[in-house]
Structure 1
């Protein structure tokens, strides 16, 4: 089961997290690459495979994808998220 949560990471700026529970550790934080988002078929396949192996996994969209922009944010913004 996927849990979706919206998190405010800076005033007025949010990102969407998707979390799949697992019984093993550590949890895996899976970031998407430039040009795709957390719902891209490859990202979903990797996420689901990690979860099927029993690991909790969290995916998220970087702000530029969340806000519908095509160009990635500066590195400091990406790291802040």
Structure 2
């Protein structure tokens, strides 16, 4: 098992033609892969469930990059249109690729 309490590092993720969204990167010592995790429609990346998942994965050697969608970043309740959501996912995966180095990279989300 790896250290379960690796600190979350705040970062900005540039989304082309949209702006920047917040991200939280946890990279435990000895990480073996990196999972990019999008939040669900009702709660953002700092929701206790999202934090618990990131912490549990870190304890098992999986780094995580959580990120906000623009609507959540702006404090709106209604999700953005699909093109904005897809652009944000692509930007988060691109940012993760730069952080991952040689780690295998996976992407997913909570619904």
Matched, 1:6 2:25: no
Q: How many residues align?
A: 81
RMSD of Structure 2 on Structure 1 (CA):
1.3
C-alpha distance in structure 1 between counterparts of 2:14 and 2:37, whole Å: 19
Report the equivalent of 1:78.
85
Give the 3-state SS of the residue equivalent to 1:71 in structure 2: coil
Matched, 1:54 2:61: yes
TM-score, with normalisation over the residues of structure 1?
A: 0.90
TM-score, with normalisation over the residues of structure 2?
A: 0.67
C-alpha distance in structure 2 between counterparts of 1:79 and 1:59, whole Å: 15
The 4+ residue runs of structure 1 with deviation greater than 4 A are none
